[in-house]
A and B are shown apart, each in its own frame.
Chain A
Amino acid sequence: MAQEQGTGTRRQFLSRAALGATLAPEMRAQSARKRFSVAIAASSAEVLDFLSWRLWDPFVLQAGIPQVAGRGGNAPVDLLILGQYQSGRGIEVAMERAGGVIAVQPAELKAPLAAAVASRMGVRFRKWDYKTPAFSVATGHPLLQPLACTTGRSFLPHLPFAWHMEIEPVKAEVVTRFTSGAPDIVINGRSALIASNLVFEVLQYHRHPDTLQFNGDLSLVLANLTLAAIGAQPVDVPAPKLYLDWRDHFYGYAFGREFIFELLALKGESVGGALRELVEYEAAHSDELIAAAAGCLLRDDVPGMQALYRDAAEGLLRCRLALTKVQPYFIRGWHGGLLSDRMVDGEIIGYAEWGWPSRTMKWTEARLAVSERLGYKQINQVGGATWDQIADRGLTDLDRWKRASAAGLIESVKGMYSDAYMEVIGPESNIRQFEYGLRAFRRMSQGVRTFMVATDDFAFHPQLPQILKSFGFEFAVLRPGGPGRFKGVDCAQLLWKGLDGTCIQAVPNYATVPQTLIAGNGGIARMPQFLLAAEKAGLPTAIGGGAVDDTLYMHGEREYESLNSVVPVQAIPATWPEYCQRAPIRPEPVFFTADDMLGYPCFWSGYGSINAECRDDRRLERLLVAAEKFSTLAAQKGRPYPTAALDRAWKYLLSSQDHFSYGCGGPDNPEGYNVGGLQEGGMRGYAGPRIPITMEDTDVRWKKYAGEAGREALEGALAHLCRVEAEGRTAAGGACLLVYNPLNWSRKGTAQAWVRAPSGAPQLVAFDGEQETGAAVLERRGEEALVEFHAQVPSLGFRAYTIRAGNTPAAPAAKRLENRYFRVEVSPETGAVTSLFDKARGKELLRPGEVTRIECSEPRIDTRTARAQVKLDRADAVASRMHIQGQLAKCSYTLLLTLAHESPWLEVGMEIDYGKGAIFGFKMKPETLLRAVFPLRPGSRWINLPFGVYQTAVANPVMLDFCDAHDGSSGVAILIDSMPGLHLADDNVEVLVSDGFPPLRGVHPYRFAIYPHAGDWRAGNVLRNAHEFQEKLPALALPESVSLPFERSYLEAADGVVLSALTLKGGKMHARFYDTTGAASRIETRWRIPWKDASAVRLDDQAEGDLPVDGAHIRFDLPAWRILTIAGRSAEGGQA
């Protein structure tokens, strides 16, 4: 028989276990209850489970207790169930020997029904049809009486593209018909035939609003078919409500029983005969009790049923306790989706799980109801942004959620505003994800204690313990899903030590114990294997499960929760605090390196679209941070702080960082539609949104608002500060430029701005009131010109310039890229950089014989061998520039190598025109993608992630701002402003540009820089240079001129410390610093606006102690890698 060939462990088990066949004989002898033997087969494990668990339906149990006698062998059985596509001589023999048969499509697809089978079923086979009507309808057949179905009612759904058998009844009675009129279920005495692939098809409707109804109807039909097939009296009255309310518990019992016997089978010879006998006896006794419980239920005796049910389940629990000492816990969490604040045609626009918001809200409330009804503990891992929308729109009763939270039934976890990849979003976004997220969670819960990501997510880096503890988290779960991996440790619980030494209790990813989830056949059904592995790993307790999104089929969920909420047979349904407070903790803290927790942010999209998203997100984050800093300073000078606008801007930015919107599906993003309207194509009766949504629409809108709000706040604050600080030395008109610097150190660099400069104007210079520097005109638009000039700006401040006619220093005559730091040689044929000579150290930076290039495996691209147009197109007062133009397969590209005369780095601007659409390489294989390749000298490789710098030895890490190649004496850093993906191989540093999924379209700009330096990344100030590279000196044209010279610095701070944010909250300034040296230091800060008082505060704003304030001076100790926020009032009594 085909089913004997099955290799799935569960199927093997069921084939071997011969449940009931080996039951203690005395038990059977004592039982007055009838038993019936069953053989069952299906090619899908889900179908098989569905069918086998329904044998324990309360109605069926009244007729007898099923003894599943395995799938093989030729022993005659009372009932043979063929779940799907089973055929062959073995089946025919088994059918001949079976007392009754329920057969779903008992033939290979497109093969005719065997004559003997057709004869037994009382039908004539006509043909296979590749189109199946959407529904089956009820006939007046008595077997449908329990459904209280009216004739002609559609009640069992089909997949319209599935195949069905077209049969003609000869002797059989038709129970259901397709809407076409052809028979679907027929019965001939004790033999039933189902012409469609019914069970499988019904299970595909798991996201249909009526899925429970479909499922329940099918269960009832199967119960009556079973009764008929074993020769018992079918149910001929409508099923009572109590039966409908409680039947899942009986299917759950079957699942738990199966768990016990699978565990027994897996333990094999290690289980002695006496123990085996004991387990079999307990199970047999429990079977009797469960049958008795079914009787109570059908007599409306719920208390009696509950007592017997508990006794039966406790019998199974005793079996588990006898078989393993490992204490199992299981987490059932749900996750995901993004509900936007947009409405189109009366529909809220949502994505992924929230693509059909009304259905998802009902589903979510149904999960809450399960907890309320059963006392079943669950985890909510839907992001703060979505809960904000739910709360704002009044979509649910938030008090109900709060009560469930207070009762410990629903634990809200993670606490982030959206499901962002923390490793590749900026430092301040890391903080704001929790700040805004926790604020949203307080609207529906008692607060968040556990950081846990879903099984489709990753959000880790080594500074997370510090951030979590500072926000008040107590526990972390180190179990990412597909978009990353976390090094496994086999222990019940550990102390996760972060980069700065902060420790947090954490549940590890096991090293040798496979994760189990609720979804799919690998889910809770894998508990026997999970327990066995945990036992082998020596774990006293083990916790499985996770947060799984609602787009997946939750196989066995209702069965599991029904049983285990009464008695924890398979596992204790738990929340994380409940587990963490009981599980032993390994005493030695464990530090995990960046390489131990690797993110794959391309997982839901690809590096091409990630890069585009990353570029926009990082730019917006810098804008909002700058806007906050200058708005806070302006507020001390009387300008209202734009709290509402900045809050909204942050929320939009944080939402756009969600892993669903973060590059997902690319610019056209059909995924937004396909995931959102997941089943529309195949779901009959689909009633959800039909709006052809794309995430792009919402994302663009969010970013547009954030950009506008940020610019308005920033420019308003700067103009205000300028006016106030100029103390009347302003005049209307003029062309004054304010070059500003949101960073907390003084900077030199190039600034760009559009200014009014008639085309006939002579050479231009930038004048700061004391000296002139040459200004280069990069572009003209009528009377306006884009000028670039060298500027020098103080720390957290600004300097004013005017652009005027003057004597520009002569442009360098050199026809190549060279300044006092660098000499760059470019191949005139290919545009490849053939030499990067570090003049300061007299050292060639490229490996001998190697050149920089762009490479890809599919299509095959290597710019070393492709001709390009190469020319020096700029050599002026500010910089020299090489212009390279060529082809990358069908796509054209332009490279601009710019070397400013005073710049320590070579800036590379790249544009690729992807035309109508192009893909490169194979997703998840970075070595095949479109890459910018830098053949640097051998040595160690260092990357930075939020708030930390790490050595890396893996092939495909991600970086936040730079990757540094250090050869022992000096280094070369590749600085980026997006493009987090790296491939490190053969001593190359390769930046991932474009991916195999999704296609990119149109022109995409990229920016990076090559920065050689002395010493390592610390000595070379790599992080500081990365910040400066990203934050090109911005300039703002003032509406009025000021008397020059005019500059202000609002903060001077020690080297090695970064002012991450300066905000105004609750009338207090909050200045957040972090250490970038890895060494503890005493930090001196000097502020232009003096502080009245100051205290160190945690990220959740809890005060940690006062700091000494000496007017403008605040001194504090900053431990290595620590993030420290100072909160206090301004002595100037500015805006509260």
Chain B
Amino acid sequence: MNVNPWVIPGSLQNLPPAGGKIPGFHFVFRAGLGVTHLYVTHRMTLTVDRADASANLRLKWKEKTSRADALPETDWVCRAGEPIEVIADFPGGLKPGQHHLKLEIISGGGYGGRGESGAPRVLCEFEDELA
């Protein structure tokens, strides 16, 4: 199993039902060493078991929530270890059992000469079991 030290075990959970239906799921990961410049995200994609779950993706950091496609409107620069919650629409939710999740961003760049190729960069990839 691919173990990502920045994942918070057990944080993968379905969202509470709304109108009798589970609208999606959420999980928490930690920002890696250095700084993570979420505010220069062009695009963010989430796959769950290799299926796309990127529509209406939201992030929550320091009690603030932003749509993934509106991150340039924020000032989110996360430092090592800070927890970031990812909230995804996934009608019906995830079934109990093992799931593989991968969160990627296409970033505009970063501080200190950090150029970007325009290629997706994995922010977080892990497998976890939903009870």
Interface residues of A (CB under 8 A from B): 108-110, 130, 159-163, 456, 482-483, 600, 603-604, 606, 665, 668, 670-671, 674-675, 680-682, 857-859, 915-925, 928, 995-999
Instruction: Report the bound CA distance from A920 to B8 in whole Å.
Output: 33
**Across the interface, which residues of A come within 8 angstroms of B80, CB to CB?**
159, 161, 681-682
**Complex Cα–Cα for A108 and B1 (A):** 11
- From the candidates B3, B79, B114, B115, name the one contacting A109 in the complex (CB within 8 A): B3
Contact A600 B113 (CB under 8 A): yes
Q: B122 at the A/B interface (Cβ < 8 Å)?
A: no
Mostly, the B contact residues are loop
> 1/0 contact trace for B29-43 toward A, CB 8 Å?
010000101011010
B115 touches A674 (CB 8 A): no
* 70-118 of chain B: CB within 8 A of chain A: 70, 72-77, 79-82, 106-118
Tell me if B116 and A925 are in contact (CB < 8 A).
yes
Task: Give the docked Cα–Cα distance between A995 and B72 (Å).
Answer: 12
Q: In the complex, what residue of chain B is closest to A680 when comparing beta carbons? A: B79
Can you name 19 extra interface pairs (CB under 8 A) apart from A159-B81, A675-B111, A915-B73? A108-B3, A109-B5, A159-B80, A606-B109, A670-B76, A671-B111, A674-B35, A674-B79, A680-B79, A681-B79, A682-B80, A858-B42, A917-B74, A919-B72, A922-B117, A924-B114, A925-B118, A997-B40, A999-B40
Residues of A within 8 A of B112 (CB): 456, 482, 603-604
Of B3, B30, B73, B118, the contact of A916 (CB 8 Å cutoff): B73
B111 in contact with A922 (CB, 8 Å): no
Q: Which of A682, A917, A921 has the most CB of B within 10 A?
A: A917
Q: Of the candidates B108, B114, B117, which one forms a contact with A920 in the assembled complex, judged by CB atoms under 8 Å apart?
A: B108
The listed residue (A159, A668, A918) touching B75 by CB distance below 8 A is A668
Query: A999 and B81: CB pair below 8 A?
Result: no
Residues from chain A with Cβ under 8 Å of B75 in the complex: 668, 670
User: 3 closest A-B pairs (Cβ-Cβ)?
Assistant: A923-B109, A996-B108, A924-B115
The interface centre, meaning the residue of B5, B6, B42, B75 with most chain A CB atoms within 10 A of its CB, is B75
Residues of A within 8 A of B6 (CB): 161
Cβ contact of A998, chosen from B9, B40, B115, cutoff 8 A: B40
Q: Which residues of B have CB within 8 Å of A603? A: 112-113
Are B79 and A682 interface neighbours, CB within 8 A? yes
Q: Are B77 and A923 in contact (CB under 8 A)?
A: no
- What are 28 of the A-B contact pairs (CB < 8 Å)? A130-B5, A161-B81, A482-B112, A482-B113, A600-B113, A606-B108, A606-B109, A668-B75, A670-B75, A670-B77, A680-B79, A682-B81, A857-B118, A917-B39, A917-B74, A922-B109, A923-B114, A923-B115, A923-B116, A925-B116, A995-B109, A996-B108, A997-B37, A997-B110, A998-B39, A998-B40, A999-B40, A999-B72
Chain B residue, CB-CB nearest to A925: B115
CB nearest neighbor in B for A483? B113
Q: Which of A456, A671, A922 contacts B77 (CB 8 A)?
A: A671
Across the interface, do B113 and A604 meet the contact criterion of CB distance under 8 Å? yes
The reply to whether B111 and A604 form a contact with Cβ atoms under 8 Å apart is yes
If A110-B3, A671-B111, A917-B74 touch, whether A922 touches B116 (CB-CB below 8 Å) is yes
Q: How long is the Cα–Cα vector from A162 to B114 in the complex, in angstroms?
A: 25
Which residue of B has the minimal Cβ distance to A197?
Answer: B5
Contacts of A681 in B (CB 8 A): 79-82
Whether B111 pairs with A997 at a CB distance below 8 angstroms is yes
A858 (CB) vs chain B CBs: closest residue:
B42
Chain B, Cβ-Cβ closest to A929: B108
Q: Which residues of A contact B116 (CB under 8 A)?
A: 922-925, 996
- Interchain CB contact under 8 A, A997 and B109: yes
On chain B, the residues within 8 Å of A682 by CB distance are 79-81
22-71 of chain B: CB within 8 A of chain A: 30, 35, 37, 39-40, 42, 70
Q: Give A859 to B8 CA distance when docked, in angstroms.
A: 33
Contact B72 A918 (CB under 8 A): yes
Chain A residues with CB under 8 Å of B111's CB are: 604, 665, 671, 674-675, 997
Q: Mark B4-28, 1 if CB is under 8 A from A, else 0.
A: 0111110000000000000000000
Q: Give CA–CA (A920, B113) in the complex, Å.
A: 16
Using known A-B contacts A682-B79, A997-B108, determine if residue A928 contacts B118 with beta carbons closer than 8 Å.
yes
Cβ A917 vs Cβ B113 within 8 A: no
Which of the residues A160, A670, A915 comes within 8 Å of B81, measured between beta carbons? A160
How far is it, in angstroms, between the C-alpha of A668 and the C-alpha of B73 when the chains are bound? 11
CA distance A999 to B38 in the complex (A): 11
A757 vs B39: C-alpha distance when bound (angstroms): 48
Q: Is the CB of B106 within 8 A of A858?
A: yes
Q: How far is the CB of A551 from chain B (nearest CB, A)?
A: 10
**Complex-state Cα separation, A681 to B77, whole angstroms:** 12
Bound Cα distance A182, B37 (Å): 35
Q: What is the CA–CA distance of A162 and B8 in the complex, to the nearest angstrom?
A: 11
Question: Using Cβ atoms and an 8 Å threshold, which residues of chain B touch A998?
Answer: 37, 39-40
Contacts of A130 in B (CB 8 A): 5, 7-9
Complex: A915 Cα to B73 Cα, angstroms:
8
Minimal beta-carbon separation of B7 from chain A (angstroms): 8
Q: Which residues of A contact B118 (CB under 8 A)?
A: 857-858, 922, 925, 928
A924 engages B113 (CB within 8 Å): yes
Inter-chain contacts of B77 with A (CB < 8 A): 670-671, 674
Cβ of A161: which chain B residues have Cβ within 8 Å of it? 6, 30, 80-81
State the Cβ distance, B38 to closest chain A Cβ, in Å. Answer: 11
Q: How far is the CB of B55 from chain A (nearest CB, A)?
A: 18
Q: Across the interface, do B5 and A163 meet the contact criterion of CB distance under 8 Å? A: yes
Q: Within 8 Å CB of A922, what residues of B?
A: 107-109, 115-118
Report how far A999 CA is from B110 CA in the complex, Å.
11
- In the docked arrangement, what's the CA distance between A604 and B116, Å? 14
Task: Return chain B residues, CB-CB under 8 Å to A999.
Answer: 39-40, 72-73
A665 contact set on B, CB distance < 8 A: 111
Residue of A nearest to B109 (CB): A923
Whole-angstrom distance between the Cβ of A912 and the nearest chain B Cβ: 14
Q: Smallest Cβ distance from B60 to chain A, in angstroms?
A: 17
State the CA gap A857–B117 with chains docked (Å): 12
- For residue B37, which residues in chain A have a CB less than 8 angstroms away from its CB? 997-998
Query: In the assembled complex, how far is the CB of residue B20 from the closest CB belonging to chain A, in whole angstroms?
Result: 34
CA distance A918 to B1 in the complex (A): 38
Look across to chain A and name the residue whose beta carbon is closest to the beta carbon of B10.
A130
Nearest-neighbour CB distance to chain A for B78, whole angstroms, equals: 9
| Min CB–CB distance A828 → chain B (angstroms) | 32
Cβ of A915: which chain B residues have Cβ within 8 Å of it? 73
Please indicate the chain B residues that have their CB under 8 angstroms from the CB of A668 in the complex.
75
The residue from A110, A159, A674, A923 contacting B108, defined by CB atoms under 8 A apart: A923
Measured between beta carbons, the chain B residues less than 8 angstroms from A675 are 111
**CB neighbours of A110 from chain B (8 A):** 1, 3
Q: Are A919 and B35 in contact (CB under 8 A)?
A: no
| A759 CA to B91 CA, complexed, in Å | 63
Which of chain B's residues have a CB closer than 8 A to the CB of A859?
A: 42
- Please, how many angstroms separate the alpha-carbon atoms of A516 and B37 in the complex? 29
Chain B residues with Cβ below 8 Å from A925 are: 115-118
Task: Tell me, in angstroms, the Cα distance from A916 to B71 when the chains sit together.
Answer: 10
Compute how far the CA of A921 lies from the CA of B42 in the bound complex, rounded to whole angstroms. Answer: 9
Q: How far is the CB of B6 from chain A (nearest CB, A)?
A: 8
Q: Residues of A contacting B5 with CB < 8 Å?
A: 109, 130, 162-163
A300 to nearest B CB, angstroms? 43
Considering the complex, give the chain B residue whose CB is closest to the CB of A998: B40
